[in-house]
Structure 1
């Protein structure tokens, strides 16, 4: 890791180039401040990841009652690989801001924006365990991706004092559960993209589309909550200790880590996990997991914001 090099890269972003963000500098600066971690996998680990994904697909299909395939792109990554993949994601999402033109002080704004995104990606790169990437806002026919950040999985398993193969497998069940959602709901990417684009376009115009962001938050709460339900209900081993310790990790860390999570909006993501999980646990306990899976039949089956806190209303409307 080279923090000073990262700072120099960000500072240099203000001296050359055009646009509001120097994405090449974002990638270089974030990777300069993050140890990539080892990808020296044993043959057993390589086969273990493949078996985890395959078994998760088979178990989730049966438990959820949905038909889906895992992405063709399944990668075991180090932290730098993950950063490179997600620089492209951030670039797509921020394209409307890039097209908006420079500010009054374009060099300063470029450096600040570049540094902000480098900080975001370096923090996430150090903490993300796995990711299902539906390639929102992407053009063309690129395949969705399924990523596992191996150094983070190993480190977190050690820090939580849990069995590494069991923890790795449980994370695989969560990420494959996201593949199940998008496989069962081909309309879901467009639903999310529409609301994301509306919200971003409004911000570019100096406005705030509260409805777009509220609808996006509600949909993402369903996405995260359903995956939490499935990863536990379909998992073929003990998980209660994993759930307890991982939930504590999401809330814990030192004051700087907690401040960073708050600044990056990760507290919102944790609330999405928790609120969505409570909703789907209630539905599954009352009507079974297959009934909960009806949320992906069509967009109108998504819970409303009010129904997330009163799941019996959703049951009465969708699965009476």
Structure 2
């Protein structure tokens, strides 16, 4: 890590936009150790076989029809940074801050904030299903990443068996592939929601309804993934979930502050609230009933239905 180079990259931020994304990449990588990616062919194959097992189990038990990305990427932290900066840049491409006073200073502040955020996430993300929102690729573009240094570190810190922990993470990420694959409308819906939020911010306003729609959709996405993960995983997982939840809630004061600033507390709430909703649906009916949410956009639970599964079931005619 080279913190001087990280700061220098931010100070030298340039360009016409509100964020210098090349400087974000340079600064974030300078502040982040890439981690070990010296894997044997058997270790790489273990990731592939875990993903295939998750796909087969989810198709069978969940009754969902979906495909996986052609390539399963086992990454170190710098690889993850590069992939996700591309995503952030696409999503925020149309953001116009409208700031005319000291634009260079504002650009440096924005660039530094993004670099700090992405560096923190790169050190903590374990796996990621990326639907490549707003990608110029008009085909069925999507990607699946595993950040090997983080998976190894967290398994060690939690004192859990690495192969079982890695397989559990694989099941979670493949559940997201199942959601987006079985609901072709979902990526477009999220893109529309994100574009509305960016338009709001560019206009200097905060539209609670637009933000709420993103939150409700992501609560459904995360909650269903938790349900499917629990119902399809082919090993014991109670200790893994308990220890990972303790990790999400723990950390030193700086880590807790970063989680707060990045809204990770809200993300944890999405996991918990969504899981409670889908558990209630599956317990009252079955997994196939829970999967009705992905048949069409109108089947997404509303904000109030997320706290009242019976209300959603009644609307679905169940």
TM-score (norm 2): 0.97
In structure 1, C-alpha distance between the alignment counterparts of 2:310 and 2:213, rounded to whole Å = 20
Residues 136-285 of structure 1 mapped to structure 2, 5 A cutoff: 136-141=133-138, 143-285=141-283
In structure 1, C-alpha distance between the alignment counterparts of 2:12 and 2:201, rounded to whole Å = 27
Structure 1: gaps spanning 5 or more residues: none
**Contact kept? 1:19, 1:102, Cα under 8 Å:** no
Structure 2 vs 1, CA of residues 262 and 100 (structure 1 numbering), >3 Å: closer, same or farther?
Answer: closer
Tell me the residue number matched to 2:27: 29
In structure 1, C-alpha distance between the alignment counterparts of 2:65 and 2:317, rounded to whole Å = 20
In structure 1, C-alpha distance between the alignment counterparts of 2:17 and 2:210, rounded to whole Å = 26
- SS of 1:39's partner is coil
Count of aligned pairs:
317
- SS of 1:236's partner is coil
Shift of 1:163: 0.4
Runs of 4+ in 1 over 6 A off after TM superposition: none
- SS of 1:75's partner is strand
Is 1:47 aligned with 2:55? no
- SS of 1:20's partner is coil
Tell me the residue number matched to 1:103: 100
Please report the RMSD computed on the Cα atoms of aligned residues, expressed in angstroms: 1.1
In structure 2, C-alpha distance between the alignment counterparts of 1:63 and 1:291, rounded to whole Å = 13
Structure 2: gaps spanning 5 or more residues: none
Please identify, of 16-25 and 35-44, the stretch whose mean Cα deviation from structure 2 is larger.
16-25
Tell me the residue number matched to 2:2: 2
In structure 2, C-alpha distance between the alignment counterparts of 1:268 and 1:100, rounded to whole Å = 25
Deviations 1:44-83 (A, max 9, x none): 2111101000000000011111100111232000000000
Match of 1:129 among 109, 126, 142: 126
In structure 2, C-alpha distance between the alignment counterparts of 1:236 and 1:53, rounded to whole Å = 12
- SS of 1:131's partner is strand
**Contact kept? 1:146, 1:175, Cα under 8 Å:** yes
In structure 2, C-alpha distance between the alignment counterparts of 1:209 and 1:134, rounded to whole Å = 25
**Contact kept? 1:63, 1:290, Cα under 8 Å:** no
TM-score (norm 1): 0.97
